[in-house]
Each structure stands twice: as C-alpha cells, then as structure tokens.
Amino acid sequence: MLNNTQEELLKRINKKFESIDQQTDVHLEGLIWAKPITYWDYIMPDALLSLQVQRTTLPDEMVFIMYHQINELLFKMILWEINQVSDHEKLEASFFIEKLMRVSRYFDMLSSSFDIMGDGMQHEQFMKFRNTLTPASGFQSAQYRLIEFSSTELINLIDNRFRTTIDRNTPYEHAFEHLYWQAAGKDYKTGKKSTLLVLFEERYKKLFLEKMEKYNTTNLWTRFKQLPKEVKEDAELIKAMRHYDYTVNISWVMAHYNAAGKYLGAGEATGGSDWRTYMHPKYQRRIFFPELWSEEELKNWGHNV
Ligand code: HEM
C-alpha cells in the first residue's frame, strides 16, 4: 500500500514523464536495477587522480602539475558563476551580488595560496624539470583568458599602446591581434609570433573569437552597468567589485610575479616572454572596472606593490 506522500510523488513523476513522452512504468522498472550511488562514482576521484603525469623523475614536478590543475578547477568554478550572470535574462541585483561574491572568494583563494608555488618547490629541481616544459607556459591557460573576456569590456584588455585605434566597430579579429597578451608572444617590430603564441592560437583562437563576441555584451562589467542606479551606487557592492578587480589584477599578478622572480631570477621564461616587463601590473595595466577607480588610483596602478 502506498501512503499519501508516495501517491503524490508518483503523480508528479508521471506528470514529468508524460510531458517528455516517456513511460513512467519503464523508468520505475529501471530503478529496480539501478546501482546505489557511491562517492567514487559521483565525484570520480579515480579519474581525477589519474591526471597527474610527470615528465621527469623529480618529485617537486608533482607540486607544479597539481597546483596548476587546482588553479584550472577553480577557474572552472569562476566561469561557472560568471556564465550564470552573463546568461541571465532578467538579472536582479541580489543574484549579481551573490555570484560576484562567489567569484571573488574563489580568486582570493588562488591569490592567497600562491605560496604553494613560491615556497613549495626546491629551486634545484624546478630548474631541471622546467627544461622539459619549454615552450609551454601557464600563459596558455584558455580558462584564464575566458575569465578575462567574461569579466570586462574588450577595450580594457587591449594593449595600452593601441587602445585609441580600437572601438566598438573594430572587427574581433583585429581586436584579438591587439590584446595585451599578444605582447608576450609577438615581436612588435617584425610581427613574428613565438611558438608559445602560435600553438596557443592554433588550439584556441576560434573559441576565443566566439567568446569575445558573446561576452562583448554580457561580461560582468557590462552587466553591472545595467543594474538599477541605486544598486550601482551601493558602497558595499562597489567595494566588492574593486576587491575582485584588485585581487585578479594586482594581488594574483604580484603573487605570480614574485614566484616567477624567485625561480627565474634574471633568467628566461619557458614561454620566452620579456616577462619582467610584461607581467608587472604597472606596465600591463589590466583593469577590469576602470570607472570604479579614481584618477589618482589609476595613475598609480601597480606602483606601490
Ligand atoms: C613557479 C611557478 C611559475 C612560474 C615560474 C611562472 C612563470 C610565468 C612566466 C614567466 C610567464 C610569462 C609568459 C612566459 O614567457 O612564459 C607566465 C605567464 C602566466 N602564467 Fe605562470 N608561472 C608559474 C606558475 C603559474 C601557475 C600556478 C599558474 C596558474 C594557472 C600560472 C598561470 C599563468 C598565466 C595565466 C600566465 C599569463 C599571464 C598574463 O598573460 O598576464 N603560472 N608564468
């Protein structure tokens, strides 16, 4: 005998399956043979933990691989939240704020954990295994680029030297060639691209052009500007936006820059960029929400770090 709750549930299940032209009986029968769910089937630690493959015999290479993978997982969590804001048809302030705070917390974690790289590997080992990684670089993280495209307007990602030559009518392809990060892989006198950049573009350029277009009207900054005036002027929200901007574009950048300095000293990077100039925020000037900073703050961006 079914109790009232079970009868009610069956009615709802029936309704659901009818609406998609499925037979409830068949689905219920299937449940009899279904395996009980387990942690390992659901979270898939076995698959996840099989993805750490060293190229050398040096144990600290494992720290390097795993911390990069942790970063990629968090990048995915960040994009998961930003995409919900981007795709929302009737965006409300509370939804925007909730997602922004999540994204910001994830990036705080990335920024505050960078010592795992900076302090966590023997220099001697690093100098050996890095040779097997040339010409790869974290520069080639596609998710990192997607976070940039989805966080701000394209103009804020254009190389500072070319911003006045680019506006809303510029074709995406042209804007792409002038993104700030092209500087890390392009000889601007000859226009020749490094292997690092050529391989990156072969793999991801098509995706990037698609996403540049998608996020052109749906990035976090544009969506913030569409919120009601009183929300945009809310001091707490502005503080949270500035915090996210600062974490991504100063705190994380400096944690990364200092770790790179510790291992590379005055040496060359695996990706081959002129990294000391390229990566420093005072030269790079990547700022997601420039209108939320005063003239003075913009002028001094990355100078006191
Ligand atoms: C000791 C560890 C690390 C060193 C020495 C290092 C070094 C560098 C250098 C020199 C560059 C400039 C491009 C090049 O010529 O290669 C770069 C770029 C980059 N790296 Fe790392 N990195 C380290 C760890 C990481 C980690 C853990 C991540 C996380 C995914 C990461 C992500 C990136 C990204 C996203 C860029 C591009 C930054 C931009 O375009 O502004 N790096 N890295």
Mean pLDDT of 13-30: 97
Mean pLDDT of 172-176: 96
Q: From ligand 1's centre to the CA of 138, what distance in Å?
A: 4
pLDDT tens digits, 248-279: 999 999 999 999 999 998 788 877 778 998 99
pLDDT band at 91 (very low <50, low <70, confident <90, very high): very high
CA torsion 70-75-80-81 (nearest 10°) is: 110
Is residue 271 within 8 A of residue 185, CB to CB? The reply is: yes
Could you tell me the CA-to-CA distances from 74 to 68, 230, 261 in Å, in that order? Answer: 10, 32, 24
Q: Model confidence over 43-80: pLDDT tens digits?
A: 999 999 999 999 999 999 999 999 999 999 999 999 99
Q: Give the span between the Cα atoms of 210 and 230, in whole angstroms.
A: 33
Nearest-10 crossing angle of helices 235-246, 93-112: 30
Give start and end residues of each alpha helix (H) in the chain. 4-19, 24-33, 39-42, 45-48, 60-87, 93-112, 115-118, 123-129, 142-151, 172-177, 195-216, 220-225, 229-232, 235-246, 253-264, 275-279, 281-284, 295-299
Do 254 and 184 contact (CB within 8 A), yes or no? no
Cα 179 to Cα 143, 246, 284, distances in angstroms: 16, 20, 11
Amino acid 218: pLDDT: 97
Q: How far is the CA of 22 from the centre of ligand 1 (A)?
A: 51
143 alpha carbon – ligand 1 mean position (Å): 13
**Rg of the chain taking only CA atoms, in angstroms:** 24
Whether residue 145 has its Cβ less than 6 Å from ligand 1: no
Report all structural domains of the chain as residue ranges with CATH numbers, in order of start: 59-299 (1.20.58)
pLDDT for residue 212: 98
For the record, the structure tokens of 92 come out as 């409300």
Query: How far apart are the CA of 136 and the centre of ligand 1, in A?
Result: 10
Kindly report the protein residue whose alpha carbon is nearest to atom 32 of ligand 1.
Answer: 138
Regarding the beta carbon of 281 and ligand 1, being less than 6 Å apart is answered: no
Ligand 1: does its nearest atom lie under 6 Å from the Cβ of 111? no
Of 137, 147, 197, the residue with max ligand 1 atoms within 8 A of its CB, to mutate for a pocket test, comes to: 137
* pLDDT computed for residue 187 by the predictor: 81
pLDDT at 272: 76
* Residue in the block written with tokens 């910001």: 104
Which 3 state secondary structure label does DSSP give 186? Answer: strand
pLDDT for position 152: 98
